[in-house]
Amino acid sequence: MILLYELQKRLANLRPTTTIVTTPTGARYVERRKSLDGEQTSSSSEPLEARQYGFVVDTKPDSVPACILSEFLYLGSQDAVTAENVIKYKLTHILSVGIETPQIELPPTVTCKHLPCLDLPETDLLQYVLPVAIDFIEQAHSTKGCVLVHCNAGVSRSSAVVIGYLMKRRDMRFEEAYNLVKSWRPCIQPNVGFMRQLKQFCKA
């Protein structure tokens, strides 16, 4: 009984709270909670103006690719796939990892490749993704071309591919390749499964 009394006493001292809740459908409401008689709480909700989406809309496109290897290898998000960037960076190859290449008008001289890849730790990067990606990037290099590797956000899948390429074709250790890519594109973060596989790739 003493414990129950202490809990009720502490509950009575809690401050009233107000929380704005957004549902996945975009509905928004204010939820208010307050104490009554020091023994119980009551809650009420007030609807707010609904939003079209239940998530934050990206209003700042990430359209500038990072140059990982001078005048040859670029890394970015899907926003970087633009006709302007093709001209500006003299792109001859575009590797789209996990998503289709954005539908824009590209010169016939640009070779595009879509490589299916889910951004999940269990995706087999070593067997199904890296061999194809490395060959495509090397194709661009052998023809003195310029390649942009991108995924959706340019954070996990495409960065893992670029790190793998540096390890395989430039004889870099995992830490060296990761740090190089990170220095030019600080937002990269391959998922934990990709990180584990890349470290194994280093030992293969």
| One CATH from 3.30.2010.10, 3.90.190.10, 3.30.56.10, 3.40.50.2300 for 66-203 | 3.90.190.10
**Integer Cα distance of 100 and 201 in angstroms:** 26
**Integer Cα distance of 165 and 136 in angstroms:** 10
Q: What percent of the chain has pLDDT over 70?
A: 70
For the question of residue 187 being annotated catalytic, the response is no
| DSSP 3-state of 134 | helix
- Domain ranges, ordered by start, for the chain: 13-55, 66-203
Reported as a pLDDT band with limits 50, 70 and 90, residue 54 is very low
Instruction: Kindly report, residue by residue over 96-149, the tens digit of the pLDDT.
Output: 999 999 888 888 999 999 999 999 999 999 999 999 999 999 999 999 999 999
Res 12 pLDDT > 90: no
Q: What is the rounded average pLDDT for all residues in the chain?
A: 84
Q: Return the ∠ at Cα 53 (arms to 50 and 56), rounded to 5°.
A: 110
Instruction: Kindly report, residue by residue over 13-38, the tens digit of the pLDDT.
Output: 666 666 666 655 556 666 766 654 54
Q: Which of 146, 151, 187, 202 is an active site residue?
A: 151
pTM confidence score: 0.71
pLDDT of residue 74: 98
Reference 101, options 116, 112, 85, 110; nearest CA is: 112
**106's tokens:** 């590209």
**7's tokens:** 């809990």
Reference 160, options 148, 149, 146; nearest CA is: 149
